[in-house]
């Protein structure tokens, strides 16, 4: 074979390969989803992505990382012609920050049929709410026989050395302390004073994240802490000796959902993905597995699990939604104080 023939044959083979790949892409849909890793992503795949999308030929590329990393990536990409993410799972406060910085699209909820009956309090124009939970008391019932009814129990001196705190939830702990002191979530001075009192009275053990505080409960290093109701119920299901109690002072809402980065390249697919997330049947199964409350009123949770997950009307009346503008403006100062004075 002459050199020209060889090159020609090579180009023909390469061309056929490219065309083949294109036709393969055309058959299915492709989307890049950024999400948390671990059991959160496992359940998203198991209950939503696999049965509703991948089983129909979708190719989902997963970019798994922490919420701060995801937020930073979206912000860094906002001035590029094309971003790398089509859908990002975020907490609602991050959605607020991303929108303030012009990094996410306004959502056309008309394109999400399953999103026609979302819980109004947690729906934002640029954020599709998916799951929510509340910041409550988690305790070891083997040592604390009477379920604690007040956040003040964490300050009870009889639990000295047995109180746990998670470092990654500094905002939640500051809101909780403010709620106890003033009945509102965002009195920073009152929160700081209260937390210093906690530090002095009970010398709380500081863990980095959910997994570590669960290990702390399991090893009986701690007996009482605060966490999302959903996480407390998950710990209990996994054999950690804990129960969850709703505090009489009320509880802060924490909502998780999805946003569409401004530079997303598969926006039509992103809307289909949003719709799949809110599929009533699959979302009900997911909530029964991870104990989060569904953001869609179309989802029916019944029986014992429904009772554990859903809030009673009395509890609903005491739920407080954070002021995201306040958090965005103060989170840097809150973390600085937390690092310097609390941990």
Partner 1 sequence: MGPEKGARLRGLALVLPALLLVAAFLLAPLALVIRYSLDVYDPASLMKGVFSAENYVKLVSDPFYLRVLVFTGEIAALSTAICLVLGYPVAYFISRSTSEKLRSFLIIITVLPLLMGNAVRAAAWMVIMGTKGLANAMMLGAGVIDEPLKILYTPTAVVIGLVSVLLPFTIITLQSVLDAIPGSLEEAGRSLGFSPLHTMFSVVMPLSVPGMLAAGAICFCLAMNAYATPVLIGGPSVHMMGPLVYQQISKVTNWPFGSALACVLMAVTLTMTVISTTILSRRYF
What gap in Å lies between CA 256 and CA 122, rounded to an integer? Answer: 9
Applying CB under 8 A, which of residues 132, 173, 207, 228 lies at the interface with partner 1? 207
| Number of Cα atoms under 13 Å in the Cβ half of residue 260 | 22
What gap in Å lies between CA 271 and CA 276, rounded to an integer? Answer: 9
Q: H helices of 101-260, where? A: 170-182, 188-202, 210-218, 229-237
Applying CB under 8 A, which of residues 30, 63, 105, 221 lies at the interface with partner 1? 221
Applying CB under 8 A, which of residues 131, 206, 258, 287 lies at the interface with partner 1? 206
Nearer to partner 1, 207 or 271 (CB): 207
By CB under 8 A, the count of residues binding partner 1 is 23
**Least Cβ distance, residue 226 to partner 1 (angstroms):** 16
Q: H helices of 45-91, where? A: 67-77
Applying CB under 8 A, which of residues 101, 275, 315, 321 lies at the interface with partner 1? 101
Nearer to partner 1, 163 or 233 (CB): 163
Query: Please, which of residues 163-182 interact with partner 1 by CB under 8 A?
Result: 167
Nearer to partner 1, 117 or 220 (CB): 220
Nearer to partner 1, 78 or 266 (CB): 78
Helix (H, G, I), strand (E, B), or coil: what is residue 171?
helix
**Least Cβ distance, residue 77 to partner 1 (angstroms):** 13
Using CB under 8 A, which of the segments 97-105, 108-116, 122-130, 133-141 binds partner 1?
A: 97-105
Backbone dihedral region for residue 132 (phi beyond 0: left; psi -120 to 50: alpha; all else: beta): beta
Nearer to partner 1, 71 or 311 (CB): 71
Contact between 295 and 118 under an 8 Å Cβ cutoff? The reply is yes
Question: What counts of helices (H) and strands (E) characterise the chain?
Answer: 13, 11
84 interacts with partner 1 by CB under 8 A:
no
Applying CB under 8 A, which of residues 66, 79, 300, 312 lies at the interface with partner 1? 66
Cβ–Cβ contacts within 10 Å for residue 4, how many? 8
- Give the phi and the psi of residue 221 in degrees, each rounded to 5: -70, -30
**Least Cβ distance, residue 122 to partner 1 (angstroms):** 22
8 interacts with partner 1 by CB under 8 A:
no
**Least Cβ distance, residue 219 to partner 1 (angstroms):** 6
Nearer to partner 1, 105 or 221 (CB): 221
10 interacts with partner 1 by CB under 8 A:
no
Contact between 112 and 125 under an 8 Å Cβ cutoff? The reply is no
Question: Quick one: which of 87, 97, 84, 95 has its CA closest to 35?
Answer: 87
Q: H helices of the chain, where? A: 3-27, 38-44, 67-77, 92-100, 170-182, 188-202, 210-218, 229-237, 267-277, 280-290, 303-309, 313-317, 324-337
79 interacts with partner 1 by CB under 8 A:
no
**Least Cβ distance, residue 66 to partner 1 (angstroms):** 8
Residues that bind partner 1 (CB under 8 A): 66, 68-69, 71-72, 75, 97, 100-101, 167, 206-208, 219, 221, 328-329, 331-332, 335, 339-340, 343
């Amino acid at each position: 074979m002459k050199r020209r023939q060889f090159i020609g044959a090579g180009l023909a083979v390469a061309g056929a390969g490219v065309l083949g790949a294109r036709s393969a892409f055309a058959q299915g849909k492709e989307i890049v989803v950024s999400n948390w890793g671990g059991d959160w992503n496992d359940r998203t795949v198991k209950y939503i992505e696999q049965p509703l999308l991948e089983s129909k030929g979708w190719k989902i590329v997963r970019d798994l990382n922490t919420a701060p990393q995801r937020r930073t990536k979206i912000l860094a990409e906002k001035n590029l012609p094309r971003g790398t993410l089509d859908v990002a799972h975020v907490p609602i406060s991050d959605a607020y920050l991303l929108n303030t910085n012009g990094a996410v699209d306004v959502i056309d909820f008309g394109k999400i049929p399953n999103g026609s009956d979302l819980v109004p309090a947690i729906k934002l124009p640029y954020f599709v709410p998916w799951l929510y939970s509340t910041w409550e008391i988690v305790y070891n019932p083997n040592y604390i026989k009477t379920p604690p009814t007040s956040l003040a129990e964490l300050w009870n001196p009889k639990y000295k050395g047995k109180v746990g705190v998670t470092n990654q939830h500094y905002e939640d702990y500051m809101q909780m302390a403010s709620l106890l002191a003033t009945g509102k979530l965002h009195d920073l001075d009152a929160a700081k004073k209260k937390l210093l009192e906690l530090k002095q009275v009970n010398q709380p053990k500081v863990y980095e994240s959910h997994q570590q505080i669960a290990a702390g409960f399991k090893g009986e290093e701690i007996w009482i802490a605060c966490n999302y109701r959903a996480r407390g119920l998950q710990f209990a299901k996994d054999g950690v000796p804990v129960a969850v109690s709703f505090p009489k002072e009320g509880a802060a809402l924490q909502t998780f959902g999805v946003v569409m980065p401004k530079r997303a390249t598969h926006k039509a697919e992103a809307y289909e993905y949003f719709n799949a997330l809110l599929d009533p049947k699959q979302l009900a199964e997911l909530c029964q597995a991870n104990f989060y409350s569904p953001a869609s009123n179309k989802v029916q949770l019944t029986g014992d699990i429904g009772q554990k997950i859903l809030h009673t009307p009395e509890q609903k009346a005491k739920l407080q939604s954070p002021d995201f503008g306040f958090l965005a403006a103060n989170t840097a100062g809150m973390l600085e104080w937390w690092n310097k004075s609390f941990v």
